[in-house]
Structure 1
Amino acid sequence: MSLLCVSVDHHRADLELLEHIERRADDLTARLTDPAFATGAVVVATCNRFEAYLDSPVLDRDAVLRSLAEAAELPAERFADASAVHAGSEVPEHLFAVAGGLESAVVGEGEIAGQVRRALDRARTAGTVTTELERLFQRATGVSKAIKHRTGIQSKGRSLVRLALRMAESRIGDWRGTRIVLVGTGAYAGASLAALRARGAERIGVYSPSGRAQQFAASHGVRAIPHEALELELERADLVIACSHAQDPLLDRERFARTVAPSRAPFCHALAGGAVSNADRPRPRLLIDLGVPRNIDPASATVPGVELLDLETVAKHAPIAELSAEAEAREIVADAAAEFAADRAELDAVPALVTLRGHVHGILEDEIARSGDPDVAAALRHFAGRLMHQPTVRVRQLGRAGRAPEARAAVEALFGPGE
């Protein structure tokens, strides 16, 4: 099957043309869902977009555009000029970007995700969804959720937190094992906690100078840090994020100086007979200050082992493209599209696996029938399973690499009809 998407949206068409197409959306949809036109079709139609996703063994781009122009009662040239056509591997990447709000007039708007889901529901009801289109649109829903939860593209506050954490990623080796102290219980704290969990962080404690830590912790499933335990937590922390509304700095230089801890011993410490010392190597701590006014005294950056990122530092980096929410979202889209293509290519290797398994299992059943011994049968099945494991893995790998024809040719040469 071949995938094709014809898209008419605000990028290429003016409002007048979009309104004209919207009024004829039913006629366009009827044309697309004709079995003689395509095996399967899903139509995403909104106030500023009309997109047709088609699945068919053979799709002629020019013929599709001419037919849609006719249904829309538009000159073929005008419809073609207003259309963007995506084919093959371009289709998943485009749909994933659309579902994530990256192609919307307002980048990041969340309404389009629901519109994409409803388009699939309508196509299911009409019976025009093929297996390939079902997989495509199901994956688009997952990508949309990943963009929403991992980038926070729909929230300015979340974007600020996300930028800070993106800058922190080069200093954090393993989010799951990172010990984190979160200072504050307001909106920024909630956004920070969500962004941290999206990255896999688990060891999170929350401290509140106003005494609301217990309530926040109970409602968010994290540990509350009492006042008397704060310095011990700061000593053990790898990352401190401060986002309180306090008017004066909550954490001063002296507090961080008192809580300096030695770096962990290297792996070779015992083998070196204790010759390697960490006494002069303080354990690194990263501080992120999102407070306005500041929550952390800037002088804290002079404490050995401490690195401080404050709002000023984050703001300086905000214009960098690779740190923007949209750039991060597009990375998610590109990765998901590549994975979808690999999964699809792997399916092309299925006929080779069927041939291989058919050959092996045919011999297996003959031998089991001849033995008549249940113990021998169990042993033979176990042996066949072990024998088939590596060839099965290898054939799938060849499929994902786009080399399914090679796998099919090799299997047929060895075990095919001409054996």
Structure 2
Amino acid sequence: MLICLTASHRNASFDLLERLSIGAPTAASRLVTDSDVLDGAVVLATCNRFEAYLDIAGDDRDSAVSATVDAVAAASDLAPAELRDSVRVLGGKDVVQHLFAVSSGLESVVVGETEISGQVRRSLEDARSNGTTTSDLERLFQEAAHTSRGVKTRTRIGAAGRSLVRLGLQLASSRVTDWAETRVLLVGTGSYAATTIAALRDRGAVNIQVFSPSGRAAWFAAKHDLVAARDLRQAIGSSDVVITCTSSEVPVVAPADLDDGIRRIVIDLGLPRNVDPAAAGVDGVELLDLETISIHAPISELNAESEARAMVDDAVSRFRAQALEQSTTPALVAFRKHVFDILDDEIERAKRRDPDPESVEQTERALRHLVGVLLHRPSVRARELGRAGRGEEFVGALDALYGVQPAPEAEVPSPVVPLAERTAPVRDDADRTDEADAS
């Protein structure tokens, strides 16, 4: 059974999300190894949300939620009660609906933002590395990726929504008279850095230097045709706009780094914060952090969002129908094995009775054809009953008539071809610009 624990900008403070962005990923691997109520877990922690998708061993939902809250709270230096009060718990169809919408950018601060699909994909890759995925979680996340690509390519939601980077620059543009004459400092070479450079150049910025707390400025500057800065305070002093986007767990820009009385815009895209909030008190400094940017997130174009949500709803319905169909698969596999075991026994008896190989071959072909015809209708009916939510009737009928019961789940091969084998891999826009800063 799959459930989801979720906290986002809609129902949790940015301070809490900031702590979760650090601690939750470190707790992910221990969720499964230290718990006997969880078979699998995929944890997603971004600047705007925390998600824990759990595959429960059995149906003890409360114990699974408690174990997850305790582990994540401990890793994030939070009181379990504080985290529990800030998360929603979803189950059943709501889990599928939520992940498909999240992956498609429909639950982001800026509806339609493109970064989230890459973040969802990487959370699954991390779970694979930690050995915490299950077949149900794999299928859920793969179909979520497939849905988000469809939403991106077949709707206008991407045009309606804008990334946090572009929204931050838009807010700053009301204070910048000419980006071509503006001196910009980019602090960090993380996941938003390349996206930020592209957005700055779209606005006409040409005087851009980069500083990296981890020492990667020279490499990053050469790659993107920038100027590498060696001293942070000196670079800030020679800049009109400072944009931070590192993965540092502590602020890299302090109030002391900002000259008092100098008009300067500081855009903090980091989570955890890259800029000490006290910097907003420095005379002349205007600080735009993620919380400020989210307040100014635009109302989406209603038609584009409605179209995208309709696609998500359709994808959820298809996913659920497929899952229901597969509910009868173990019983159908057991039934087919039962029938073919009988068939093989009859063929062996025929071989012993009739020494003529040609005659036996004809008998075998006829019997196999007959069995195939007889099995066709039960196979179709099994899928129909599963899709209608009546799979238990099929399972019960096999048990009553033939004494056939499905094998344990682990012994049943999956009849589903993984999405990765059905669909050529497609790189998200965010993937091409994901260069994580080690700082």
* Structures share fold, TM-score greater than 0.5: yes
Note the alpha carbon deviations across 1:280-324, whole angstroms, 9 max, x for none.
xxxxxxxxxxxxxxxxxxxxxxxxxxxxxxxxxxxxxxx999x61
Paired residue for 1:91?
95
Paired residue for 1:133?
137
- What are the within-5 Å matches in structure 2 for residues 227-266 of structure 1? none
Paired residue for 2:243?
none
What is the CA distance between 1:356 and its match in structure 2?
2.0
Match of 2:79 among 75, 81, 98: 75
Note the alpha carbon deviations across 1:351-385, whole angstroms, 9 max, x for none.
32123212321221122222231111111111111
Does the CA contact (< 8 Å) of 2:111 and 2:160 recur in 1?
A: no
SS in 1 for 2:35: coil
Give the Cα–Cα distance (whole angstroms) in 2 for the partners of residues 345 and 417 of structure 1. Answer: 20
Give the Cα–Cα distance (whole angstroms) in 2 for the partners of residues 66 and 25 of structure 1. Answer: 11
1:19 aligns with 2:18: yes
SS in 2 for 1:154: helix
Does the CA contact (< 8 Å) of 2:104 and 2:112 recur in 1?
A: yes
- Seen in structure 2, the aligned counterparts of structure 1 residues 347 and 327 have a Cα distance that, compared at 3 Å, is same
Paired residue for 1:113?
117
What is the CA distance between 1:341 and its match in structure 2?
1.8
- Seen in structure 2, the aligned counterparts of structure 1 residues 342 and 406 have a Cα distance that, compared at 3 Å, is same
Aligned sequence identity (%): 46
What is the CA distance between 1:35 and its match in structure 2?
5.1
Paired residue for 1:407?
394
1:388 aligns with 2:375: yes
Alignment size in residue pairs: 255
Does the CA contact (< 8 Å) of 2:24 and 2:72 recur in 1?
A: no
Give the Cα–Cα distance (whole angstroms) in 2 for the partners of residues 327 and 397 of structure 1. Answer: 31
1:55 aligns with 2:34: no
Match of 2:314 among 335, 347, 352: 335
Q: Which moved more, 1:145-154 or 1:19-28?
A: 19-28
- Seen in structure 2, the aligned counterparts of structure 1 residues 25 and 355 have a Cα distance that, compared at 3 Å, is closer
One-letter amino acid of the counterpart of residue 377, structure 1: E
What is the CA distance between 1:46 and its match in structure 2?
1.1
Paired residue for 1:397?
384
What is the CA distance between 1:51 and its match in structure 2?
0.8
- Using the size of structure 1 for normalisation, the TM-score is 0.57
- What are the within-5 Å matches in structure 2 for residues 200-211 of structure 1? none
- Seen in structure 2, the aligned counterparts of structure 1 residues 129 and 82 have a Cα distance that, compared at 3 Å, is same
Paired residue for 1:149?
153
Give the Cα–Cα distance (whole angstroms) in 1 for the partners of residues 29 and 361 of structure 2. Answer: 59
Give the Cα–Cα distance (whole angstroms) in 2 for the partners of residues 340 and 404 of structure 1. Answer: 16
Note the alpha carbon deviations across 1:256-282, whole angstroms, 9 max, x for none.
xxxxxxxxxxxxxxxxxxxxxxxxxxx
One-letter amino acid of the counterpart of residue 6, structure 1: L
Give the Cα–Cα distance (whole angstroms) in 2 for the partners of residues 32 and 140 of structure 1. Answer: 23
SS in 2 for 1:324: helix
One-letter amino acid of the counterpart of residue 404, structure 1: G
What is the CA distance between 1:103 and its match in structure 2?
0.5
Paired residue for 1:349?
328
Does the CA contact (< 8 Å) of 1:31 and 1:68 recur in 2?
A: no
Does the CA contact (< 8 Å) of 1:31 and 1:71 recur in 2?
A: no
Does the CA contact (< 8 Å) of 2:20 and 2:76 recur in 1?
A: yes
Note the alpha carbon deviations across 1:208-233, whole angstroms, 9 max, x for none.
xxxxxxxxxxxxxxxxxxxxxxxxxx
Give the Cα–Cα distance (whole angstroms) in 2 for the partners of residues 320 and 152 of structure 1. Answer: 11
One-letter amino acid of the counterpart of residue 381, structure 1: R
Does the CA contact (< 8 Å) of 1:12 and 1:82 recur in 2?
A: yes
- Using the size of structure 2 for normalisation, the TM-score is 0.55
- What are the within-5 Å matches in structure 2 for residues 286-301 of structure 1? none
- What are the within-5 Å matches in structure 2 for residues 145-184 of structure 1? 145-156=149-160
- Seen in structure 2, the aligned counterparts of structure 1 residues 20 and 55 have a Cα distance that, compared at 3 Å, is same
Note the alpha carbon deviations across 1:84-105, whole angstroms, 9 max, x for none.
2111221111100000000100
Give the root-mean-square deviation of aligned CA atoms: 2.3
- Segments of structure 2 that go 5 or more residues without pairing to the other structure are 162-298, 352-359, 406-439
Give the Cα–Cα distance (whole angstroms) in 2 for the partners of residues 137 and 330 of structure 1. Answer: 18
What is the CA distance between 1:417 and its match in structure 2?
5.8
- Segments of structure 1 that go 5 or more residues without pairing to the other structure are 158-318
Greater RCO (CA < 8 Å, at least 6 residues apart): 2
Give the Cα–Cα distance (whole angstroms) in 1 for the partners of residues 74 and 313 of structure 2. Answer: 34
Give the Cα–Cα distance (whole angstroms) in 2 for the partners of residues 332 and 345 of structure 1. Answer: 20
What is the CA distance between 1:156 and its match in structure 2?
4.8
Give the Cα–Cα distance (whole angstroms) in 2 for the partners of residues 320 and 133 of structure 1. Answer: 30
Does the CA contact (< 8 Å) of 2:326 and 2:386 recur in 1?
A: yes
SS in 2 for 1:112: helix
- Seen in structure 2, the aligned counterparts of structure 1 residues 17 and 32 have a Cα distance that, compared at 3 Å, is same
Give the Cα–Cα distance (whole angstroms) in 1 for the partners of residues 8 and 345 of structure 2. Answer: 61
Does the CA contact (< 8 Å) of 2:104 and 2:116 recur in 1?
A: yes
What is the CA distance between 1:25 and its match in structure 2?
2.6
